[in-house]
Structures are given as structure tokens and as C-alpha cells.
Amino acid sequence: EVQLLESGGGLVQPGGSLRLSCAASGFTFSSYAMSWVRQAPGEGLVWVSVISGSGGSTFYPDSEKGRFTISRDNSKNTLYLQMNSLRAEDTAVYYCAKERSSRDIAAAGTVDYWGQGTLVTVSS
Amino acid sequence: DIQMTQSPSSLSASVGDRVTITCRASQSISSYLNWYQQKPGKAPKLLIYTASSLQSGVPSRFSASGSGTDFTLTISSLQPEDLATYYCQQSYSIPWTFGQGTKVEIK
């Protein structure tokens, strides 16, 4: 059974940093691209970043470039999201998401499993 | 970025009704369109991928169609457990983008 368990969320002040983790199990972690998707309270879904199965390729929307860094440790079956220079508008539930069928970003974009989410609140 | 627009934003229907949700892309995305269901307080769940392929384990009352810019998700006979918000999402080009969601309520 595929399981994705996020951790690391919490309350942080504007300008602060936070690192989210996602422990994966139930599948061959390195064979799939992984993403982070966030959802602000009462709002829709927004894709935040993606990383290839090997960890060699990453992409971010322009709004997150330079502030967020996605990474993975395939030996630990764990996905990370380092978030810096946090703003109030980054307040959201952050979901760890597994790609359905590809380790390569070019063929990715469909999430078949989601974690339960971890809440990040940016406030003074 | 490709903009995804869903309609309606919300709907209310009775158990057993046929429900249709539409999604329009701001440019052609071929069949690179997914549908997700998000129940209140829960993570999203994949229903449909590549426009019309039913994800394993999803009830057959869910179906979808479309290509290019216009897509539809249909629930053939609405059930109480279908209370949720439904999102379309394009996987044609990065950044992958979602529609704003359609909230389905049960009368």
C-alpha cells in the first residue's frame, strides 16, 4: 500500500524558513517523479515543485523560484521541500504527491497518490 | 501558463441525478487532462487521467471526455458519497495548473 506521510509544518514568522519532509513507502520511490502541491485555506490546488526520480531535474513555477527547493533522498525514501523567505500568502496545506507513471518530469504531471498534508502558517 | 476554467463553480443535485462539469483550457492541451475529487478535509484523489481513462478503483459512474480545449466530467448517477469539490488539471506543460474547482452538493 502506497503511503506518503508529510511532516515539518507549523507556525513560522514572515521571512522565516521551514523544511517539509515526506516519508514514502509501498512503492519503488526512485522510479517516480514527486511533487509538492499546496492549498491555501478555502482555496484551490496549486502545484509548487516537481523532482525527477533520480533527483537530477527539478522545476518550479516562477512564483516559487529562488525561494523553494525540492530535493529527495532515495536511500531514505524521503522527499523534502525547503522553503525560505516565507510570506503570509504561503500559508497553506502542503501535499506530497506521487507521479502516476514516470520518473521523468517531461512525461509526468499526473498524481495518483497524495499525502494527508501538512499545514504551514506564516504569521507574526 | 495555461489557464484552466471550470464551470459551474458549484452545483446542487439530487441523488440519482446525472451531473456534468466542464473544464476549458486557455490553449490546446491535447488529452493531457486529469480530474481529481477532494472530499471535505481530505486530500485529493485521482479519478480520471489523460482525459478519459478511469483510475483503478474509481466507480464506473464517473466518466470523462474531451480533447483540445474542452473537457467534461460526468457522474451518471449522483451518490451521497460524491459530495466533494472536483478539480481538473492540465499536464500538457509545466507549470501544471488546476481549475478553480467545482463544489458538488447534494440536495
Summarised one tens digit per residue, pLDDT across range B87-98 is: 999 999 999 999
Closest CB to A44 among B43, B45, B98 = B98
- Closest CA in chain A for residue B41: A116
Burial of A123 by CB count in 10 Å (0-12 exposed, 13-18 middle, 19+ buried)?
exposed
For chains A and B, count residue pairs whose Cβ atoms are closer than 8 Å: 56
Q: Do B50 and A59 touch (CB under 8 A)?
A: no
By C-alpha distance, which of B87, B85, B89, B79 is closest to B104? B85
A101-A104-A108 Cα angle (round to 5): 50
pLDDT at B16 (0 to 100): 97
**Cα→Cα distances B31→B2, B76, B91, B107, Å:** 14, 22, 9, 33
Residues of chain A neighbouring B95 (CB-CB closer than 8 A): 47, 59, 61-62
Interval A51-86: pLDDT, tens: 999 999 999 988 887 899 999 999 999 999 999 999
By C-alpha distance, which of A114, A94, A103 is closest to A51? A103
Average pLDDT over residues B44-58: 97
Confidence of residue A106 (pLDDT cuts 50, 70, 90): confident
Cα distance between residue A121 and residue A40, in whole Å? 10
In single-letter form, the type of residue at position A68 comes to F
- Closest CA in chain B for residue A113: B45
**How close does chain A come to B97, measured CA to CA in Å?**
7
Closest CB to B91 among A44, A45, A109 = A109
What order do you get walking across the sheet with A3-7 strand by strand?
A: A3-7, A18-25, A78-83, A68-73
ω into B59 cis (within 30 of 0): no
Q: Do B43 and A115 touch (CB under 8 A)?
A: yes
- State the cell numbers at A7: 511532516
Cα distance between residue A14 and residue A85, in whole Å? 7
